[in-house]
């Protein structure tokens, strides 16, 4: 997933990673240490990659001024139209499950030029036909100002692209070792495939080396448990 994310980062971009997002952080840093050395990487609350001194408000002001090229979001539920649910499952008055809440996710789905949605689990209860509550809409009416929006969705099984004409997710590639049947079994809506869909290119030897050395050291500063789980001691 980190390699798939890294390949979407373009040199010279400003790339920001929010809270609880170690996989996008690893991907952004992998890109920065390889093909995107001029990218500006912002990782929330990381001592080396957090340039703001007045809390999250300064970051949100930065985003509202149109300074972010790429951002990352996730959701408790994600549907075929790239809507994100960060609120609750079931009746909002009597929910079966409560999520942490949208915080700045609604605004941050609109203003960065591109948003990559990620989720470290791919299951039918997550990838649903329609989310129970829309915290962050995947598309907007034509008269709504929206400089950006969903670009890709990266999971442990595949990479989705976004068909902007129909506002729906389309599988661009499945990861090595994953079959289309497995991908469908673990998705709660009927999958559509890009005509050119194939297999996600596996990590290269260089990508793995950089992940296991420079990226591991940098990510461990903000996400020590993730670094230990992903890379070992």
How far apart (Å, rounded) are the C-alpha atoms in residues 61 and 68? 11
Residue 149 is assigned to a structural domain of this protein: yes
Question: Within this chain, do residues 84 and 174 fall inside the same structural domain, yes or no?
Answer: yes
Domain of 84, in residue numbers: 77-104+119-201
Q: What mean pLDDT do residues 60-77 have?
A: 96
Strands (E), the chain: 14-17, 40-43, 70-73, 77-79, 84-85, 88-89, 97-98, 114-118, 127-128, 150-154, 158-163, 168-174, 193-199
Q: Is 0.75 surpassed by the pTM of this model? A: yes
Q: What is the pLDDT of residue 2?
A: 98
CATH of the domain at 194: 3.40.1080.10
Nearest CA to 118 out of 26, 32, 194, 35 is that of: 26
Nearest CA to 98 out of 133, 137, 148 is that of: 133
CA 177, 181, 183, 186 dihedral sign is negative
| Whole-number average pLDDT of the chain | 95
Residue 110 is assigned to a structural domain of this protein: no
Question: Within this chain, do residues 131 and 154 fall inside the same structural domain, yes or no?
Answer: yes
**Number of domain units in the chain:** 2
**Sorting pLDDT into bands at 50, 70 and 90, what band is 212?**
very high
**Sorting pLDDT into bands at 50, 70 and 90, what band is 19?**
confident
Q: What is the pLDDT of residue 49?
A: 97
Q: What mean pLDDT do residues 169-185 have?
A: 98
Per-residue model confidence as pLDDT tens digits over 111-155: 999 999 999 999 999 999 999 999 999 999 999 999 999 999 999
Question: Within this chain, do residues 143 and 50 fall inside the same structural domain, yes or no?
Answer: no
Per-residue model confidence as pLDDT tens digits over 27-58: 999 999 999 999 999 999 899 999 998 878 99
Question: Within this chain, do residues 197 and 88 fall inside the same structural domain, yes or no?
Answer: yes
Q: What is the pLDDT of residue 80?
A: 97
Q: What mean pLDDT do residues 205-223 have?
A: 97
Question: Within this chain, do residues 85 and 182 fall inside the same structural domain, yes or no?
Answer: yes
DSSP structure string for 4-26 = HHHTT--TT-EEEE-TT-HHHHH
Residue 111 is assigned to a structural domain of this protein: no
């Amino acid at each position: 997933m980190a390699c798939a994310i890294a390949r979407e980062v373009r040199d010279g971009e400003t790339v920001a990673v929010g809270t609880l997002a170690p996989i996008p952080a690893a991907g952004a840093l992998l890109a920065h240490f390889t093909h995107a050395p001029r990218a500006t990487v912002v990782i929330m609350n990381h001592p080396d990659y957090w340039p703001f001194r007045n809390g999250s408000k300064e970051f949100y002001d930065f985003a509202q001024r149109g300074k972010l090229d790429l951002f990352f979001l996730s959701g408790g539920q994600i549907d075929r139209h790239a809507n994100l649910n960060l609120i609750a499952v079931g009746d909002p008055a009597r929910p079966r499950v409560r999520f942490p809440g949208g915080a700045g996710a609604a605004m941050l789905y609109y203003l960065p030029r591109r948003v990559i949605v990620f989720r470290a689990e791919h299951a039918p209860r997550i990838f649903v036909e329609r989310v129970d509550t829309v915290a962050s809409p995947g598309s907007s009416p034509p008269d709504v100002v929206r400089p950006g929006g969903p670009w890709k969705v990266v999971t442990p099984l595949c990479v989705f692209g976004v068909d902007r004409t129909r506002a729906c997710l389309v599988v661009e590639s499945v990861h090595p070792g994953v079959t289309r049947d497995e991908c469908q079994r673990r998705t709660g809506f009927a999958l559509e495939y890009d005509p050119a869909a194939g297999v996600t290119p596996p990590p290269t030897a260089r990508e793995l080396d950089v992940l296991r050395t420079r990226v591991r050291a940098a990510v461990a500063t903000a996400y020590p448990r993730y670094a230990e789980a992903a890379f070992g001691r």
